[in-house]
Structure formats: structure tokens, C-alpha cells
């Protein structure tokens, strides 16, 4: 056997081993920093309050679970310096720093991780007949709407985010930001292709998200 062929086999062996185990799940650590911009702007505002619709929403885990659970608490925080810089900045206000560990969900099965930050507010939600991702909501039920409106709890920043794996990593947001004592909400809906081990910034007119995804397994795709 030639030397070149031996070298190729050595390099390819780990990849072939990973591909030979289709049932072996790959895990990722997802770390988020969410912050509010100090500036006030009406750019991107809706004409009413918004209530995000989430399928299979899950709370971000904070307590220990089984070792092979698809969602687990984040073992440690790595972005402490970045969070501290935001705390010390006069241009932003830190809302959340944390994350979770998850398996390599595909897009269909990846759950939204619930985000509920800031003061809680009661709203009345109109039955959906338009945008399937957001429902129109009101602080008080309108007298001119003859509909069954459900009372729901929402927050200043409310909705969910999710990470899923196809050929690449992807990060999605489905959030609504409602300023304190505001009369309208701001839709924060996005999808971004990610690369692991790289910091990504998801911008919005009222809030921002820093996210970094760390593969737990060396065979994980970027």
C-alpha cells in the first residue's frame, strides 16, 4: 500500500466512523446574549400589539436532566466578557445571558425555546386569520369586535428562538418587542445560517442578540 493511500485512510477514518453511526446524536451548546438598545425608534413597529405563535415551545432548561436528554442546561457560560461590556455600555441594557445544550434537531423537530423577558402584561388575543406566525392582540378587548378573544400573558420581549441543523446550522427568531407603556409591538422574525464557534449578531431596531454555538462533538457539522 502506497504512503499516500495510507495517509488518506488515516485522515478519512474518523469521518467514516461517524457516518457509520447514523443513530449517534450530535450535541451543541447554544449561548445567547440579548440586549435592548437605548435609542428609541418607531422603525419596524406594527399597528397593534403582537402575540407570537410558537409550535412545541419549551422552556430553556436550568436543572439537570438525563445525560441523553435532547435538551439540557448549558454547562458553562463562555461569553462573560461580552456580556460585561454590554452591561457597562450606556447604549444598551442587558436583558438575558444564558443558553442550553441541544441535540442536532432538524428544522421540523427543533422546538422553539421560550423567551419571556421584562414586565408581564395581560393582552387579549384575536383569533388568527392572517399571519400564521403572529396574532393581533389588545390591552383591552375592543368593543367593536364580536369575537371570542383569549386572555394571554405576554412580556416586553416575548416569543421564541430555535436552532436546527440541515447542511448547515440555522438560527431562527420569532419574537415581539413591546416597549413599556407602549401601544404597539415590534416584530423580530429572522432566520440566519450560522457557523459554529463564531460569534453572530442578529440586529433589530429595538433589541439585539449575540449568539455563539459550540459543537460538543468534533464530528458536528458547521
Provide the whole-model pTM: 0.83
Q: Structural domain of residue 109, as residue ranges?
A: 26-215
Q: Is residue 10 part of a domain?
A: no
pLDDT (mean) for 66-82: 94
Give the pLDDT band of residue 143 (cuts 50, 70, 90).
Answer: confident
Asked, for residue 86, whether it belongs to a domain, the answer is yes
Q: Residue 7: which pLDDT band, with cuts at 50, 70 and 90? A: very low
Which residue from 152, 160, 129 is spatially nearest to 52, judged by alpha carbons?
Answer: 160
Task: Name the DSSP class of 64.
Answer: -
pLDDT value of residue 177 = 95
Instruction: List all residues 6 or more positions away from 205 whose beta carbon is below 8 Å from its beta carbon.
Output: 37, 41, 43, 44, 186
Tell me the per-residue pLDDT of 14-41, one tens digit each, with 9 for 90 and over. 444 443 334 456 899 999 999 999 877 7
Who wins on pLDDT, 29 or 130? 29
Let me know if residue 103 belongs to a domain: yes
* Sheet containing 27-37: order of strands: 71-73, 92-103, 27-37, 207-215, 200-203
Span 120-139, average pLDDT = 84
Residue 1 lies in a domain: no
- Per-residue pLDDT for 107 more than 90? yes
Interatomic CA distance for residues 141 and 195, integer angstroms? 44
Q: What is the pLDDT of residue 141?
A: 74
Question: Length of the chain, please?
Answer: 222
State the residue for C-alpha cell 416584530: 187
Mean pLDDT over each residue of the chain, to the nearest integer: 85
Specify if 7 maps to a domain: no
Is pLDDT of 55 > 90?
no
Q: Is 12 part of any domain?
A: no
| Count of structural domains, the chain | 1
Task: Kindly state the percentage of the chain with pLDDT values over 90.
Answer: 62
Residue 60 lies in a domain: yes
Residue 120 lies in a domain: yes
Closest CA to 177 of 5, 34, 9, 75: 34
Statement: residue 171 has pLDDT above 70: yes
Amino acid at each position: 500500500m502506497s504512503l499516500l493511500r495510507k495517509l488518506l485512510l488515516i485522515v478519512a477514518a474518523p469521518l467514516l466512523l461517524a457516518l457509520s453511526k447514523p443513530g449517534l446524536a450530535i450535541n451543541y451548546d447554544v449561548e445567547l446574549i440579548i440586549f435592548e438598545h437605548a435609542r428609541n425608534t418607531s422603525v419596524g413597529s406594527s399597528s397593534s400589539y403582537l402575540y407570537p405563535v410558537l409550535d412545541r415551545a419549551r422552556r430553556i432548561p436550568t436543572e439537570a436532566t438525563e445525560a441523553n436528554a435532547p435538551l439540557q442546561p448549558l454547562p458553562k457560560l463562555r461569553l462573560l466578557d461580552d456580556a460585561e461590556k454590554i452591561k457597562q455600555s450606556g447604549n444598551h441594557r442587558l436583558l438575558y445571558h444564558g443558553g442550553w445544550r441541544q441535540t442536532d434537531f432538524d428544522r421540523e423537530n427543533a422546538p422553539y425555546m421560550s423567551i419571556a423577558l421584562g414586565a408581564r402584561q395581560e393582552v387579549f388575543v384575536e383569533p388568527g386569520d392572517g399571519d400564521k406566525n403572529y396574532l393581533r392582540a389588545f390591552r383591552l378587548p375592543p368593543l367593536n369586535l364580536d369575537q371570542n378573544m383569549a386572555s394571554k400573558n405576554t412580556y416586553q420581549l416575548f416569543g421564541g428562538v430555535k436552532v436546527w441543523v440541515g447542511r448547515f446550522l440555522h438560527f431562527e427568531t420569532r419574537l415581539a418587542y413591546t416597549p413599556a407603556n407602549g401601544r404597539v409591538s415590534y416584530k423580530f422574525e429572522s432566520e440566519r445560517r450560522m457557523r459554529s464557534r463564531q460569534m453572530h449578531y442578529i440586529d433589530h431596531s429595538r433589541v439585539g442578540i449575540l449568539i455563539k454555538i459550540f459543537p460538543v462533538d468534533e464530528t458536528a457539522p458547521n
